Amino acid sequence: MRYPAKQTTQWLKLVLGSLILFFIAALMLFNPASLITSQQAKNDALIAGSMAYHVGVSAYLYGYPIIEMTSQMHNETHLVEEDQAVYAPVNKLYRLSHLINPQTAGNLRAPNSDTLYFHGWYDITQEPLIIHTPDTKGRYFTIAITNLYAEVVHIGRRTTGTKERLFALVSPTWSGTLPDNVTPIITETSKGWLLGRMLVTGPDDFARANSLMEQIWLKPLAKFNGQQGDKTVGKIKADKHDFKGSLSFFAELNRTLKTLPLRAGEAALLAQFDEIGVGPNVTFDADLLTPPQRKGLEHAIKDAEDIIQASVQRTIKSTNGWMISKDIGVYGYRYMHRASVVKGGYGNLPEESLYPAAVFDENGNLLNGSDRFRVHFNPEQLPPVDGFWSLSAYKLEDAQFEPNSIDRYSIGNLTKGLTYNELGGLTLDLQHEMPADTSTNWLPIPKGHFMLVMRLYEPKQNVLDNQWIPPSIERL
């Protein structure tokens, strides 16, 4: 049936009118502003969470040595535990008048048993700190001055000689005049750590070594100039600081960065830290974090801790089973490496001392005290040092000494009674049980898995140039 043109027109108008009403209704229900706002919120959350995570990982790696050191400074200059092993006020020294053994290692990781240790935390924010060192008459000693970036400078026999000297730790921002007989040492940060070592050549040398160590002292410049008398400082009790693994790490980093000088080439990096609220030009407040920011930072903490641990566990390329790292004490922009070194302890510059370490024998098998080993030096293989050298064994799980029947925890060129062969070579016997021949050059080793650390104090240039390497560790 055909409809008249007039009816067809009316029908089309009705249909079009219905469609128009439908679209108007749909537009009333569809709010583009609401959609845009919703998408913007998603974008903001994505950006906030992702930036908090990605920049947070970098900030954690960067700040790890700073927070590790400021925490240790607080914990060793305040009474934070009833049975605290180390305590000394700021700008004072704590001296260990004995060689390290399994009972006296304290917080030291893989300590040596060749020298007396003395250490303390400095704060030169207000004025320089005078350091006095006595005339050791050629005896080896060193003081490592470590700033909050874990970078090191040394005073001691290698760098400043063994005559009686006066030094002053000076902040870069301090302006004033030092006495003529005081040598300035400008430190990058106003707070840091002093770790000293004084050689002991044997039991009959303890009294002399201790006397020399006692003559090393610290004194603020004003007291050195006689402008104020010494004041008795009472022991200050405080809660222990441990910020690692929580958002309090970023709060402490933010607070500390405000006190540190801007390092060359790091302005852009710290500007990124500002963007997530932890840089020096903002104030971090965990209570103001949005859920995405909190989630991002918490994720960053976990992954950064895993990265540092993985970096610590990486095996350095070895030769003859020995791993030798020379990238210690100056780090530049290598923040992950810096964090991994600090997690394992602090180190000297390689020119001061090198520490070849081994956990495998020459065939790649883990060292274990159920077996016997030897290390043989041909005459031309003896460690080339201007100072001295030694070899120590530690339990692998905690890098600490294990007690032994002769209380020997290191052996080296200063060990009394070593036997060399007719050509001048030296063989060291490494085993857990006492050997039948007690005249051997015996270093007791732990019963289970263990690690060896060789110490080369003041190594010669051919060691630094990799022209000399330790001999193989032979399993017998």
Q: List the domains of the chain with CATH numbers.
A: 49-73+242-313 (1.10.3360.10), 94-224 (2.60.40.1610), 318-475 (2.60.120.600)
- State the pLDDT at residue 230: 47
Residue 127 burial class via C-beta count within 10 angstroms: exposed 0-12, middle 13-18, buried 19 and up: buried
Output helix, strand, coil percentages for the chain, rounded to the nearest 5: 30, 20, 45
Query: Can you tell me whether residue 455 is helix, strand or coil?
Result: strand
- CA pair distance 6, 67, nearest whole angstrom: 88
Residue owning tokens 């003041």: 458
Would you give per-residue pLDDT tens digits along the chain (476 residues)?
454 555 556 655 555 556 555 555 555 555 666 656 677 777 777 888 899 999 999 999 999 999 999 999 999 999 988 888 788 999 999 998 888 888 777 667 788 889 999 999 999 999 999 999 999 999 999 999 999 999 999 999 999 999 999 999 999 889 999 999 999 999 999 999 999 999 999 888 999 999 999 999 999 999 887 665 444 455 778 888 898 889 999 999 999 999 999 999 999 999 999 999 999 999 999 999 999 999 999 999 999 999 999 888 776 666 777 888 888 999 999 999 999 999 877 889 999 999 999 988 888 889 999 999 999 999 999 999 999 999 999 999 888 999 999 999 999 999 988 999 999 999 999 999 988 876 679 999 999 999 999 999 999 999 999 899 899 999 98
Residue 5 burial class via C-beta count within 10 angstroms: exposed 0-12, middle 13-18, buried 19 and up: exposed
Helices (H), 78-174: 157-160
- State the pLDDT at residue 109: 74
- State the pLDDT at residue 351: 96
The DSSP letter of residue 203 is G
Of the candidates 369, 368, 384, 366, which has an alpha carbon nearest to the alpha carbon of residue 454?
Answer: 384
Task: Give the amino acid at 162.
Answer: T
CA 60 → CA 254, 269, 331, 335, 338, distances in Å? 11, 12, 16, 9, 12
Of the candidates 393, 385, 379, which has an alpha carbon nearest to the alpha carbon of residue 473?
Answer: 393
Residue 286 CA from chain centroid, whole number: 26
Asked if 148 and 107 count as a contact pair (C-beta separation under 8 A), the reply is no
Stretch (H or E) spanning 126: none
Sort residue 70 into left (φ over 0), alpha (ψ -120 to 50) or beta.
alpha
